[in-house]
Amino acid sequence: MNLKYLITENYYKKIALLKFIFLGPKLKKEKYYRVLDEGELLKSKKSDTVVIFGCGYSINNIKKKEWKQLEKFDTMAFNNFYNCESIRIDYHVVREMTVYVRKNFEKSREMATYIRGISENVKYKNTTFLICKNMIAPYYLLNNRLLKKKSKIFLFENSHIKGFLSNKLGENFNSVSHKFTTLEESINIAYLMGYKKIILAGIDLYDSRYFWLKKDESFPPWTPNYSDSPQIENGTLIKGESCKEEHQTANVAIKIILEWLPTFKKKGVKMYVLNPKSLLNKVLDIWRFS
């Protein structure tokens, strides 16, 4: 990773945090959104089991009767899962909305697609948005009222200790872990919310296909404008991959989960993976439908 990128990335994270210092009280005063505190977030749980949905192609393999079984549990999603209309989403982790576009968000095709996808998906009607406040894109999202009025939001901050499993949740803490993936934050939040069973769905890792794209289509279908990222090559996003290659997050995802499993075991938390072919089958049990 180049020095220019590190300096740029840290600069924008600091700017985002400074902006949220003033935005937080503003949001509560204006009451355009319903800003939840930690107690309200925890009370919103309906089950001791949560299904965390990623965007792997195996989402297309879930059968109708299986969707109905999964809907009995609480549900959490992240990134582009708004492309799915098969299940109600209780919580959506907001962090990676637009890839390395630091300025002119209103001109970002990804941002527009993200907002439109969420607003048009009926399964997101009552979703609580778990929003990372040390990222500049979520600040733009909230400050410009891009989510629907009265949307429920909870603000969290990433831990500065990379890969550290946080035992604190709350908008005043450097609380939720992020080393490389939003999956990491989602699992950490689920743990902090007290779930005893965590089921990972659509976390395939053996390839880089996404469920809403064609079987042989690589992501993304557009080119971002920002060119200082180490993932940008000749103006084109290379999110690790052609669709046939192992997902770029595979190794780090497995490593982080392995590090966290002993703590989960001590706390009585059990993790499963839904797709039996997922690379996570090396470290997690397969969830079996009844």
Please give the model's pTM, rounded to 2 decimal places.
0.84
Span 162-185, pLDDT tens digits? 556 666 554 334 578 777 788 998
Span 73-94, pLDDT tens digits? 999 999 899 999 999 999 999 9
CATH of the domain at 252: 3.90.1480
Contact 132, 125 (CB under 8 A): no
What's the total number of domains in the chain? 1
Q: Quote the domain boundaries for residue 281.
A: 3-286
- State residue 224's pLDDT score: 42
Please state the φ and ψ torsions of residue 49, each to the nearest 5 degrees.
Answer: -120, 135
Task: Give the DSSP letter of residue 57.
Answer: G
Contacts of residue 54, defined as CB under 8 A and 6 or more positions apart, other chains included, come to 77, 78, 79, 81, 183, 200, 201, 202, 203, 204
